[in-house]
């Protein structure tokens, strides 16, 4: 189990994250840990076994993003990567559909050795954080120690997550999403220990601008997760991954349409609220969607700001704005 950070004298911000927008938000919050420690809880539903190695894509995207090593153009993997091992695998007609770069493989070999030596997922993630240079004051912790595997039910049948996401580039229309093994999972003990280390009042929880179906549900649906977070949280804030009817990256908008929902910030808000009643206090939408607030059928605490973190000058301002929102009780 990860030993809790000793200097966590202020209540941390807890960010629930997938690998895309959530990892980018984790990266900007990693620069603010002097103001407030941050615990990033990562989705494990994308994890799978490949070439005999446990691959944890969302956890690794957060590790790379917060240590300044993410390939930002691709949004996953390490910058300045080389591909000699993948080329050699391909030359032997091996499984090269999932691209593991040489440096990324180094991380995977270290993870494999640590797991074989008896470390748990949180422990190996903590070790990798230290070795990669994730700033002190930030803890990255997978949501659970148990195996949760996202599977998608599509018009062409059921697919394992990476088969759908990478193998089929999210093309088959989605009908449903299931999280195999989630009934037997429980919130990570290391996450709970980190939450309980704070001595200066309650934490604030932020649902990153991650895909709700593929990245946030496999965290929030873990039995006990909602109540463990809610009972410690002063405020729960959810950031819309939908901006102007589109997701900046990934299939969130496409999936909403396939599930019969409009791809819009209000529809995302209603969906999250219906699935997790009473969990979220404050909804964050992008400036572009300000005009849609009036379309909500009942009053919500919607806050609007510029959330497109790739725009110059936006990310630091967004982080400060978010810290401000989270600094007071709802
Ligand atoms: N995404 C791809 O689209 N193609 C890949 O070949 C690929 C390889 C890969 C290797 C390591 C890793 O940590 C992530 C990788 N991803 C790849 C991203 C991965 O599929 C994630 O699940 C998505 O980022 C969704 O969060």
Chain segment 126-138, per-residue pLDDT in tens:
999 999 999 999 9
Instruction: Give the Cα separation of 63 and 197 in Å (integer).
Output: 22
Cross-strand bridge partners of residue 141: 41
In-domain check, residue 2? no
In-domain check, residue 88? yes
What confidence tier does 199 reach under pLDDT thresholds 50, 70, 90?
Answer: low
What confidence tier does 302 reach under pLDDT thresholds 50, 70, 90?
Answer: very high
What percentage of residues in the chain have a pLDDT greater than 90?
88
**Protein residue closest via CA to atom 18 of ligand 1:** 76
In-domain check, residue 1? no
Q: Is the distance from CB of 120 to CB of 135 less than 8 angstroms? A: no
SS3 of residue 232 by DSSP: helix
Q: Is the distance from CB of 46 to CB of 161 less than 8 angstroms? A: yes
Q: What tokens were used for 54?
A: 């446990």
In-domain check, residue 242? yes
Ligand 1 atom at minimum distance from 57 CA:
13
Residue 176 belongs to what H/E stretch? strand 174-180
Chain segment 213-242, per-residue pLDDT in tens:
999 999 999 999 999 999 999 999 999 999
In-domain check, residue 184? yes
In-domain check, residue 302? yes
In-domain check, residue 79? yes
Whether residue 188 has pLDDT greater than 70: yes
Instruction: Give the Cα separation of 319 and 309 in Å (integer).
Output: 9
Whether residue 313 has pLDDT greater than 90: no
**Protein residue closest via CA to atom 3 of ligand 1:** 166
Q: Which residues line ligand 1 (CB under 6 A)?
A: 18-20, 46, 55, 57-58, 60-61, 76-77, 98-100, 104, 162, 165-166
In-domain check, residue 330? no
CA of 75 relative to ligand 1 center, distance in Å: 8
β-sheet with 138-142: strand ranges across: 138-142, 38-42, 13-17, 203-207, 233-239, 282-286, 301-305
Instruction: Give the Cα separation of 156 and 148 in Å (integer).
Output: 23
Ligand 1 atom at minimum distance from 61 CA:
13
* Chain mean pLDDT for the chain: 94
Question: What CATH code is carried by the domain that includes residue 233?
Answer: 3.40.50.10680
Q: What tokens were used for 136?
A: 């002190």
Which phi and psi angles does 198 have, rounded to 5°?
-70, 135
Distance of CA 325 to the CA centre of its chain: 20
CA of 162 relative to ligand 1 center, distance in Å: 8
Instruction: Give the Cα separation of 182 and 186 in Å (integer).
Output: 8
CA of 228 relative to ligand 1 center, distance in Å: 30
SS3 of residue 122 by DSSP: helix
**Protein residue closest via CA to atom 21 of ligand 1:** 57
Which phi and psi angles does 217 have, rounded to 5°?
-60, -40
Q: Is the distance from CB of 84 to CB of 70 less than 8 angstroms? A: no
Domain that holds residue 148: 8-325
Mean pLDDT over 175-194 rounds to: 97
Which one has a higher pLDDT value, 8 or 257?
A: 257
| Confidence at residue 5, expressed as pLDDT on a 0 to 100 scale | 47
Number of independent structural domains in the chain: 1
């Amino acid at each position: 189990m990860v030993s809790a950070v000793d200097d966590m004298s202020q209540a941390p911000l807890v960010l629930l994250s997938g690998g895309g927008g959530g990892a980018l938000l984790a990266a900007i919050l990693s620069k603010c840990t002097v103001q407030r420690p941050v615990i990033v809880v990562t989705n494990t539903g994308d994890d799978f076994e490949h070439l005999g190695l446990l691959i944890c894509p969302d956890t690794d995207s957060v590790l790379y993003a917060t240590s300044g090593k993410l390939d930002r153009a691709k949004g996953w993997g390490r910058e300045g990567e080389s591909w000699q091992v993948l080329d050699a695998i391909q030359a032997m007609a091996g499984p090269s559909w999932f691209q593991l770069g040489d440096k990324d493989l180094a991380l995977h070999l270290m993870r494999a050795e640590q797991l074989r030596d008896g470390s748990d997922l949180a422990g190996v993630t903590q070790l990798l954080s230290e070795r990669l240079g994730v700033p002190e004051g930030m803890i990255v912790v997978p949501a659970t120690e148990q195996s949760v595997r996202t599977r998608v039910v599509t018009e062409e049948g059921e697919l394992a997550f990476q088969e759908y996401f990478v193998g089929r580039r999210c093309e088959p229309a989605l009908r449903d999403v299931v999280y195999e093994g989630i009934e037997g999972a429980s919130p990570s003990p290391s996450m709970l220990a980190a939450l309980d280390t704070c001595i200066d009042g309650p934490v604030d929880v932020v649902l990153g601008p991650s895909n709700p179906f593929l990245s946030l549900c496999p965290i929030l649906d873990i039995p006990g997760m909602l109540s463990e977070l809610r009972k410690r949280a002063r405020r729960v804030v959810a950031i819309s991954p939908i901006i102007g009817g589109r997701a900046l990256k990934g299939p969130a908008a496409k999936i909403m349409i396939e599930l019969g929902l409009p791809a819009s910030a209000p529809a995302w808000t209603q969906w999250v609220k219906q699935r997790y009643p009473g969990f979220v206090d404050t909804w964050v939408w992008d400036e572009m969607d300000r005009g849609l607030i009036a379309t909500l059928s009942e009053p919500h605490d919607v806050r609007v700001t510029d959330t497109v973190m790739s725009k110059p000058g936006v990310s630091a301002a967004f982080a400060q704005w978010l810290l401000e929102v989270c600094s007071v009780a709802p």
